[in-house]
Amino acid sequence: MAQGIQRPVGHDALQVEGAWSGRGSWPAAPGGTGLSEKVSRRFCAMMGHTPAAPPNPVTKTLYLTPRLQVRELAPGDEPLLLTLHGDPAVARWMGDGTPLTPEMCLAWVRVSMNNYANQGYGYCAVFERASGEFVGGCGLIHPPGEPRRPVEIIYALRPPFWGRGYAREMVSAMLDWGARQRGLRQVWATAMPDNTASARVLAASGLHWQHTRPDADGEPTATWLWEAPAQATSSPEAPGSSPNPV
């Protein structure tokens, strides 16, 4: 089974993020409404509004775990995203199940770089430290148009790396990083109800199931919530001398 959460979504009208399980709907904030997207259609509609990448990018490692390196996306990473999100086995759990195209991956890198600059976080590339091999992606995002701007954790793994515990490792560390480095107190996740692998990862990472209900497209979606402890007890390893693997 694919291990992942949700579909590519965006920071307001700029960001396009993710690849995971579920066609998910966003939990409705008090006074707001839940949101839902079909990845391919929404992404294509946003292509004309995709900003150029910031000049002179500097690739940044967010954190290291015992086995993984998580770093920001940068120009040249488009083939990595295509390897991951263009794979039908991964795309099965994304939006309407349609794999992303090279053009979508190009736009995704650009908007992600703008998210780092403007939001302080976004979707990131994940590598195996021992081999330097590209494992998948993980990040924190916002849904477009949500007035209370909830934050969601998303991730995806290449099939060769399923079943190794990498999903829990990078999700748990991303949540801890978001709380410690960006002051996030609540993080949501959505997934297809039949994606039991994601359910296990979310529960093991400290998220709690809230409800399963139809989204705006009528598709059942499971919603989970993580709340940061009053004081974190551990943090991801700070980036050291370990070089970027790409």
Q: How far is CA 88 from CA 56, 79, 94, 210, in A?
A: 34, 15, 10, 29
Q: Is 211 exposed, middle or buried (0-12, 13-18, 19+ CB in 10 A)?
A: exposed
Distance CA 234, CA 242 (A): 20
pLDDT for 154 beyond 50 = yes
Q: Tens digits of per-residue pLDDT, 192-234?
A: 898 899 999 999 999 999 999 987 778 888 999 999 998 754 4
- The overall average pLDDT reported for the chain is 75
pLDDT for 32 equals 26
User: What is the model's pTM?
Assistant: 0.74
Q: How many residues does the chain have?
A: 246
Q: Which domain holds residue 107?
A: 39-50+60-227
pLDDT for 162 beyond 90 = yes
CA atoms within 13 A on the CB side of 144: 19
In-domain check, residue 114: yes
In-domain check, residue 29: no
pLDDT for 49 beyond 80 = no
In-domain check, residue 23: no
Distance CA 243, CA 129 (A): 9
In-domain check, residue 146: yes
In-domain check, residue 239: no
**For the domain that residue 203 is a member of, what is the CATH number?**
3.40.630.30
In-domain check, residue 64: yes
Instruction: With cut-offs at 50, 70 and 90, classify the pLDDT of residue 73.
Output: very high
Instruction: With cut-offs at 50, 70 and 90, classify the pLDDT of residue 52.
Output: low
In-domain check, residue 179: yes
Distance CA 171, CA 153 (A): 7
Q: Tens digits of per-residue pLDDT, 84-130?
A: 998 988 888 766 778 889 999 999 899 899 889 888 999 999 999 99
Number of domains making up the chain: 1
List the end-to-end C-alpha distance of the chain, in Å, as a whole number. 27
In-domain check, residue 68: yes
